[in-house]
Homo-oligomer: A and B are copies of this chain.
């Protein structure tokens, strides 16, 4: 009995301490918001059209927070909290509208919220083209579109949209995508057929060999389609993500069945301007050369010369002729870094088409 009282006293004392901490955190939240308002006033006085969202500044703040975090909270978790604080402070000065691709939907929305925090207004669009035009027209400040999504095959629409759009890339977002076995059946022994996109089937092959050797594997157009079929037929399971499970109300019979963990999907944030240098950036380029075979190698040599690493290269047939390709190239570094600037200058002289799609901070969260 004595000990229980003493526990209660200890707990009450700790709760008082937490309450005092909360009061101080709240005071600091509002002090931070006031400081952000001061920044806004100064910027507006100099330029009535001033934009307050600065991706490079936010990336720097988040990186510093992750680096200096001593725990016990996880650095990712603390960064996520600061993501929300910055989102709330920014909304006070300038509420942001962010267009995102609706159909594959919730992944891209999750990416938008991960990047901008929950104080922005996210507007679903019917197509990647609609996301671009919504931002071009000024109806939305920014857009979020998928660019490397191995299972949904939307990547080419996004790349093609840049060819005819003046918009720039001002950020990237990565999401870890997990695959689950979704089914209304109560056990693996009831599963006779597994539907999924062929890439997802391939990414879970080892698990399927071990746990569902008897089930037929059928490739369908998308994981969402697979989930829809699993929701309508007996003896069927789908491999799909949480989004599809939610939409079709399918239980996760087994979670995280991918053979290699860490399958990520990448999204781009598009806007009318790209980002300033944050110290750890990427630059995306749109290039073309007349001849694909030898031309490309020569075209890219300035990167090797200046020790700039390419993180991705993607070729797309252009609409101008059978041997005429456009290339989407991502490199490490900001276009204002001296080495990058010099390589780009050389590249521009050789390429038949040359456009910087934007420099932006590498994904922090």
- State the oligomeric state as a number of copies: 2
A109 within 8 A of B: yes
B246 touching A109 by the CB < 8 A rule?
A: yes
Contact between B127 and A30 (Cβ–Cβ < 8 Å)? no
Interface flag for A170 (CB, 8 Å) = no
Task: Give the distance in Å from the alpha carbon of A234 to the alpha carbon of B70 in the complex.
Answer: 57
Check A38 against B14 for contact (C-beta < 8 Å).
yes
| Cβ 8 A contact of A7, one of B46, B82, B246 | B46
Interface residues contributed by chain A, number (CB under 8 Å): 77
Q: Tell which of B37, B88, B103, B248 touches A249, judged by Cβ atoms closer than 8 Å.
A: B103
> Which B residues touch A74, using CB under 8 A?
92
Chain B residues within an 8 Å CB radius of A24? 28
The complex places the Cα of A251 from the Cα of B125 at a distance, in Å, of: 5
Residues of B contacting A88 in the complex (Cβ-Cβ under 8 angstroms): 73, 77-78, 80-81
Closest to A37 in B: B72
Q: Take A35-B18, A42-B11, A69-B30 as given contacts and tell me if A81 and B78 are in contact as well, using a CB distance cutoff of 8 Å.
A: no
Q: List 6 A-B contacts (CB under 8 A).
A: A7-B45, A21-B35, A25-B29, A29-B73, A124-B246, A126-B250
Q: Which residues of A contact B (CB under 8 A)?
A: 4, 7, 10-11, 14-15, 17-19, 21-26, 28-39, 42-43, 45-46, 57, 61, 64-65, 68-74, 77-78, 80-82, 84-85, 88-89, 91-92, 101-103, 105-106, 109, 118-119, 123-127, 130, 184, 242, 245-252
Known: A25-B29, A124-B252. 17 other contacts (CB 8 A): A10-B42, A17-B35, A19-B61, A22-B65, A25-B85, A28-B28, A30-B70, A30-B73, A33-B73, A77-B91, A81-B88, A84-B84, A101-B249, A102-B249, A105-B247, A126-B249, A127-B249
